[in-house]
Amino acid sequence: MNTVNKINEKLKGLISSLLSAQSDNGAWNFCFEGSIMTDAYMIILIRTLEITDEEVLVNDLVERIKSRQSPNGAWKVYPDEDKGNLSATIEGYFSLLYSGYVAEEASYMRKAERFIRENGGLAKSDWLTKMMLALTGQIEWPSIIKIIPIEIMLLPKWSPISIYQLVGYARAHWIPILICSNLNKSFVTPQTPNISHLQERISDSENERILAEMQNLQLYFKNALEKLSESPEVLKQKAFIKAEDYIIERIEENGTMYSYFSASFFMVFALLGRGFNIKHPLILNAFKGMKSYLCRNADQVFIQNSPSTVWDTALLTAALQQAGVPHQHASIMKANNYLFSRQHQKYGDWAIKNPDVTPGGWGFSDINTFVPDIDDTTAALRAITPLARTENHFKEAWDSGVEWVLSMQNDDGGWSAFEKNTDNYLLSLLPFKYEDRVLFDPSTADLTGRTLYFLGEYTTIPQESEIFQKAKDWLQHNQEANGSWYGRWGNCYIYGTWAAITGLKAIGVSNHDPRISRAVKWLLSIQNEDGGWGESCASDINKRYIPLHQSTPSQTAWALDALISASETPTPKIELGIQALLSLLEADDWRSTYPTGAGIPGGYYIHYHSYKYIWPLQALSHYKNKYDR
């Protein structure tokens, strides 16, 4: 059987299974699976709020956390992580103790405790874990957090350092944390375990280094706050009220903040700190919304940080149409009507730095109504494009979406995920790991490339436009020496390189252009012997390509899609890759569940249950559409 026949057979099977999995409302509900963090935090929340009727859920989460522990006692955030992850191990250990169903003396808990001690103790955990530990009374609030005054809420948006210089998803976590740290609040119940004995003493030299790093920041806040005219007591109260209002104004219809589980977790503690009773409707609704993120469509239940419904539905709807399902098909119509209903009508935090355009974007999850992002928006626009040519209401939605995307181009020529021109590196004064990728929202190759792909393939913007020229210049400037590009929201250099190549090709860049030829050469140089591609999450931490030494379906599909876009004929390397992809789609092992989505560098990686369908469907369709003529 030749390649096209094999592809046709596989496409037929993928299309059939996907159409049968569609929900009645037109969406696809695949799971968004991260590390154990959200499971651990849910147990901690249930115990802190002293909720007594969720024991089945606690038991289920305990079993899931236990099943993810490594033989050495550690937990990992990706399977091939060396030895283990300190923060994940602390979260797993503490939550199991807090559950009440696990004894501290259990051998696997002793192993976890030993791993924590040997790797620096609680003091060496990442900042999000430290915040959880401070909130639950396990450690004192770190001085680097306490140094940030709640009065930062009152500094104007144009201030060199203000809360609005952070990207929105960072603000959504930091503002609740600042409320609690400034109140010096922690929340201990009779059931709260005490693991403070795992807090290793920080060396004098380390303490001096931290204090030195804090001096400039401390001086800045002192000078900035002196310019505010009212008394310190009045300013502090105003700042607390503003912080509380900020949180409440960003609560979604399901009770969650910003539609994120993690932000909602910290929100609950902030509301408690501000005097809200544990039975207050805001807290009860938040818990209900967070519980709704439970995913049961898997071997074990787990808590999603934010369900990926809109993302999955948009990508699948576009990919199915590329695979030959007509836009008039009942399933495609249902999906596009669902997407139409999820276009945002509200102004969100994106409008702070981009106030002169009406809402028109799409968000990630079904409940998300005011946190749109570029990725979801271009994916949804690709899906509805055929209908926008014939249906007025889709045309209006499409036009407003395109206008919003174009308005979000950064001054440097690239696109970022959520907000415009949010790359204030003055905030690197804060000594947090990966602050450039966690606190800010700079232009990235994956966002820039995919935006160019949409604009080049689906709009009539001239190839010589300034929009495209600025983006091409940004990609040229940010290409790695080896020809690859770093991708922020996927794993990692394969992801960024795929997006950049397909984006550049969509706006007319030649295969012979050095940007393309160098990138293609790099992709071919890392092809595995089996014909596929695979990259470790360690690439994200080390900021250089690290091979997985195995092939995964999504990464193989990304590499193939890039090579197909840059080759007029199917080369032997492409053919080998297609065979590898077809083989991977028949396999049912860890290669299909390896996390290829990125959240927090070094801390949170995502296995999208949809990715083994979306990206192979797209790559195989592109092969067929380009070469089977």
Q: Which domains does the chain have, with CATH numbers?
A: 32-302 (1.50.10.20), 308-316+323-402 (no CATH), 409-627 (1.50.10.20)
DSSP of 552-569: -HHHHHHHHHHHHHT-SS
Neighbours of 60 (CB within 10 A): 17
Show the DSSP H helices in 254-360 as ranges.
Answer: 261-273, 281-291, 309-322, 330-341
CA-CA distance, 174 to 511, in Å (whole number)? 45
pLDDT digits (tens, 9 = 90+) for 222-278: 777 777 777 888 999 999 999 999 999 999 999 999 999 999 999 999 999 999 999
Question: Beta strand 604-608 with 597-600: parallel, antiparallel or unpaired?
Answer: antiparallel
Look up residue 152 and give its DSSP letter: G
pLDDT for position 267: 98
Exposure class string for 139-149: b at 16+ Cβ within 10 A, else e: bebbebbebbb
Band (pLDDT 50/70/90 cuts) for residue 157 is confident
SS3 172: helix
The model's pTM is: 0.96
List the end-to-end C-alpha distance of the chain, in Å, as a whole number: 17
Report the pLDDT averaged over residues 489-501. 97
pLDDT digits (tens, 9 = 90+) for 549-558: 999 999 999 9
Q: Which residues contact 5 (CB under 8 A, 6 or more apart)?
A: none
pLDDT for position 232: 83
Inter-residue contact 473 to 496 (CB < 8 Å): no
Q: Which residues are catalytic?
A: 375
Inter-residue contact 602 to 126 (CB < 8 Å): yes
CA-CA distance, 27 to 309, in Å (whole number)? 7
Neighbours of 385 (CB within 10 A): 20
pLDDT digits (tens, 9 = 90+) for 520-539: 999 999 999 999 999 999 99
pLDDT for position 434: 63
Look up residue 514 and give its DSSP letter: H
Tell me the residue length of the chain.
629
CA-CA distance, 541 to 277, in Å (whole number)? 40
Tokens of 306: 């934010």
CA-CA distance, 326 to 319, in Å (whole number)? 11
